[in-house]
Each structure stands twice: as structure tokens, then as C-alpha cells.
């Protein structure tokens, strides 16, 4: 069977796949994403011993809730991430948020953070390293990392990264201090790993039992949602933050339209949404 006949998608199946991914994860994939569907779904077709993506669709139509349906959605998520992405965010945390929290929480010595859409964990672990570097090792620090995809969270929990991953954004001094060699890979040391707990959570589900948090990262995921989904998620995120707590979004994302819930502030070159 040629590669093109495996990966070609009938137009009604293309619409079916768009709807499947939207209903399961809220992700909008437009009409021009043929290549993305083809390249991400062909490995599943081969693994299942099917002959085409159209056959995969036929299978999904009779077994909508099955594991294969979830695998298809997970394959369509974009999991790109790296250590200290948007360094200005971490600088704002280090210079403005942590000094304030340290002062306010002297008695309870506790802080809580959430990396929503954590992917393979680099965001949550970057934060953990910042907190250790800020001398908070003996505080009660909780960092929750969540994602829709169970597959990326398995990697996040393992805390093991390839050379190419630690080369992206991670300062050499932090690599030496917080990782140990594990064959050709790098393993995060225990003090960093034990600060972070990972859990599978769909951002479209109610989140009010998760908080309250001092900071929520929800970066580079809103771009995949439509306006209504995005608004609902921003309202839910607001409900998980302490008043004065921070929401950080990705560079291409804004919390416009919900000014009654968040005040946008600039801290250095970082945009921060402060919960009212």
C-alpha cells in the first residue's frame, strides 16, 4: 500500500475527525490541516494494522468512546514545550511574585502553583528550579502539572530528558546542579521532582476543587480553542486563583474581554494577569 493511499482522507471523514477532536478536547483544527492529520494519524493506522485513515475513521465511528478515540485526540495535540520558555515570565516570578509571597506567607510558609497544559513537564520543573534557587527548599511548595494527554504526562513524571531537550532554554548551571546523567539522557534530581505532581485534567472541566493557587501558567494552549471555550476556561482559572494571584498566558494569547476578572500588568517585559 502506498503512503498516499494510507494517509488520504475522504472529505466526510475529515469533517468527522475535526468534530471528534473538537468534542473530545475542544481543539479547533481548520480545513487546511490535512497534512497534520495525515502525519499524526498514519502511525496509529500502521500500529493497528489498518490500511488507511479512512479505515481508522470507520473504526472510530463504531467505537467512539474507546481507547483508540483517545489516542487519535492525543496524537492531534501539539506538545511543543521547553525549559524556561518566555524567560521574562520566570524573571517576573523571581523578582516580583516570590518576594511578595515570601513576606506574606512567613507564618504558613506555603505556596501553590499550577502548570495547566504542562505537556512533558519542562514548565513545571523550570518553576521548581526557580523556587529552589530562591531559597524555598524548606517551604511547603506544591506545583501541580496537568494536561489532557496521558502520554506526555508519563514523560513528565519520569523527569528524564534528552540532550536536545536540555539544550533548549536550560542554563548550564541549572543542568549541572539539578540533573544527573542517565545513559545518554538527563534525569532530574529528586528535590526538583518531588515538588511537582502530575495529573490528567481536561481544561474544559470544572476546576474549582483544584485551587487556590498563587500562580497559574496556562500558556500556548488557548490558541487551539474557540472564543467560547477560551472564555469559559479563563473564568474557571480565575476561580482557582487567590485574589492578587497571577495568570500567565502564552505570547500569542490574551485575556481580553474579561477585564472584570483580571487586571493586566507589565512586570519587566512580561504580561501578567492579576486576579481581581
**Contact between 18 and ligand SAM (CB under 6 A)?**
no
Q: Which residue among 202, 235, 259, 263 contacts ligand SAM (CB under 6 A)?
A: 202
By CB under 6 A, residue 26 contacts ligand SAM: yes
Query: Cα angle at 259 between 258 and 263, to 5 degrees?
Result: 130
Put residue 268 in one of left, alpha, beta given phi > 0 → left and psi -120 to 50 → alpha. Answer: left
Least Cα distance to 238 among 255, 221, 219, 250 occurs for: 255
CA distances from 241 to 95, 112, 149, 270 (A): 20, 10, 24, 19
Q: Kindly state whether residue 226 participates in binding ligand SAM, applying the rule CB under 6 A.
A: no
Burial of 228 (0-12, 13-18, 19+ CB in 10 A): exposed
From 117-125, 136-144, 157-165, 251-259, span contacting ligand SAM (CB under 6 A):
117-125
CA separation for the pair 106, 134 (Å, rounded): 14
Supply the minimum distance, in Å, between the C-beta of residue 168 and ligand SAM: 11
Q: Which is nearer to ligand SAM, 7 or 146 (CB)?
A: 146
Ramachandran angles phi, psi of 227, nearest 5°: -60, -40
Shortest CB 4 distance to ligand SAM, Å? 28
Task: Determine if 78 is a binding residue for ligand SAM (CB under 6 A).
Answer: yes
| Window of 40-48, 130-138, 159-167, 197-205 that interacts with ligand SAM by CB under 6 A | 197-205
Which of 14, 198 has the CB closer to ligand SAM?
Answer: 198
Three-state SS at 200: strand
- Closest contact distance (angstroms) between CB of 52 and ligand SAM is 26
- Residue 219 is a binding residue for ligand SAM (CB under 6 A): yes
* 203 scored as a contact of ligand SAM (CB under 6 A): yes
Residues 146-165 that bind ligand SAM (CB under 6 A): 147-149, 152
Q: How far apart are the first and last CA of the chain?
A: 58
The contact set with ligand SAM (CB under 6 A) reads: 25-27, 77-81, 85, 117, 119, 123, 147-149, 152, 202-204, 219-221, 224, 250
Amino acid at each position: 500500500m502506498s503512503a498516499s493511499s494510507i494517509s488520504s482522507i475522504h472529505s466526510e471523514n475529515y469533517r468527522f475527525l475535526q468534530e471528534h477532536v473538537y468534542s473530545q478536547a475542544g481543539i479547533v483544527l481548520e480545513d487546511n490541516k490535512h497534512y497534520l492529520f495525515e502525519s499524526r494519524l498514519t502511525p496509529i493506522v500502521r500500529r493497528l494494522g489498518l490500511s488507511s485513515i479512512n479505515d481508522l475513521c470507520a473504526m472510530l465511528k463504531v467505537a467512539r468512546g474507546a481507547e483508540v478515540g483517545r489516542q487519535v485526540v492525543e496524537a492531534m495535540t501539539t506538545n511543543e514545550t521547553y525549559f524556561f520558555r518566555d524567560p521574562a515570565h520566570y524573571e517576573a516570578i523571581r523578582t516580583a511574585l516570590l518576594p511578595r509571597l515570601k513576606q506574606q506567607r512567613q507564618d504558613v510558609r506555603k505556596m501553590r502553583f499550577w502548570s495547566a497544559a504542562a505537556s512533558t513537564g519542562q514548565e513545571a520543573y523550570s518553576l521548581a528550579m526557580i523556587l529552589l534557587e530562591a531559597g524555598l527548599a524548606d517551604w511547603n511548595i506544591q506545583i501541580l502539572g496537568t494536561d489532557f494527554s496521558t502520554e506526555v504526562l508519563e514523560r513528565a513524571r519520569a523527569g528524564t530528558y534528552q540532550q536536545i531537550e536540555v539544550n533548549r532554554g536550560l542554563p548550564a548551571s541549572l543542568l549541572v546542579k539539578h540533573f544527573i546523567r542517565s545513559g545518554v539522557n538527563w534525569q532530574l534530581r529528586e528535590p526538583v521532582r518531588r515538588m511537582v505532581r502530575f495529573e490528567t485534567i481536561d481544561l474544559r472541566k470544572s476546576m474549582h476543587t483544584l485551587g487556590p493557587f498563587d500562580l497559574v501558567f496556562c500558556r500556548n494552549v488557548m490558541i487551539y480553542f474557540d472564543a467560547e471555550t477560551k472564555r469559559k476556561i479563563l473564568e474557571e482559572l480565575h476561580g482557582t486563583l487567590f485574589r492578587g494571584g497571577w495568570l500567565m498566558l502564552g505570547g500569542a494569547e490574551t485575556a481580553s474581554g474579561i477585564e472584570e476578572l483580571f487586571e493586566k500588568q507589565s512586570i519587566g517585559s512580561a504580561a501578567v494577569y492579576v486576579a481581581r
